Amino acid sequence: MNISVNRTNFMKSIGFLFLLFSFVSTKSYSNKPISSEATKANFFPGAFEDAQQMARNEGKLLLIDFYASWCLPCKWMDQTTFNDREVVKALNDNYIAIKVDIDEKTGFDLKNKYDVQYLPTLLIFNSQGQLLERVEETMPPNKMLNLLQVHNSDINRKVFKNSINSKPSASPKKTTTPEAEEFGLESFDINKYRTFNKNRTYRIQLGVFDDHQNAFNKVNEIREQFAEPIIVLNDYREGQVIYKVMMGEFKNQDEANGFRDILKNQFGIDAIVQ
């Protein structure tokens, strides 16, 4: 395998990111000055599979940072974003983070497995190993912190003691209800339901795509019109990955419905509340 040739082609494909990066400055994107005493993010030093297992055992999310030694935006994020106090705390407290060098054999294989085409690329998985979000951009501290907080929920941080490739031990089948399935509970507990519902964040779904590039094209289109936060959530439909473009963070359904009506009446955008 000629990795050097593949690296050359890969560098060409991310040329526009380098061009974008030339306009980025620490002053314009950082929440605060970076202190020389700031604690750095604890990136897991082992293999990807071991990081997955640790995330399962500890009930943490998993973050993969795809990078290369020649990637200038990646170096900028190391010096700023991953050296920001609030980002470091959110990452170390709730995530198992791992860096993947695409020029190494294992990193090159993971790049192909997850169809990484740009640098930097971040992938976020829940503790069960389900892909939650793909981010293909240079992330300043404030946006990274928001991303980490969005996915930091009890549902995404369940503890799984069995190993990834082992079969869980047999246990009595628990009863379930539609409410339990909706909120990711093995059996319906009204107190858990009330707590979850109280803290739930509602979003507006603007579109569903079967190609991640089309999803991010939609994101860029919406960002030109609105200032509300926008994320892309990965889901599965009939065995295929789909990408949901979601906007806003509303505390209750009435607020979300009101914003959906504004999108429809004033901008002609059809959307649903999720």
* pLDDT tens-digit readout, 163-193: 555 444 444 444 444 444 444 444 444 444 4
The reported pLDDT for the residue numbered 161 is 64
Give the pLDDT band (50/70/90) at residue 102.
Answer: very high
Domains and CATH numbers, the chain: 10-151 (3.40.30.10), 201-273 (3.30.70.1070)
The reported pLDDT for the residue numbered 1 is 46
**Mean pLDDT over residues 255-262, rounded?**
85
Torsion sign, CA atoms 12, 17, 22, 23:
positive
Cα–Cα distance measured from residue 274 to residue 266, given in angstroms and rounded to the nearest whole number: 21
Give the pLDDT band (50/70/90) at residue 92.
Answer: very high
pTM for the model stands at 0.51
Range ranked top by mean pLDDT from 67-76, 160-169, 212-221, 243-252: 67-76
Q: Which two tokens stand for residue 239?
A: 């065995």
Q: Which two tokens stand for residue 44?
A: 């897991």
**Mean pLDDT over residues 189-217, rounded?**
68
**Mean pLDDT over residues 122-133, rounded?**
90
Residue 71: closest CA among 35, 106, 122: 122
Q: Is the pLDDT of residue 28 over 60?
A: no
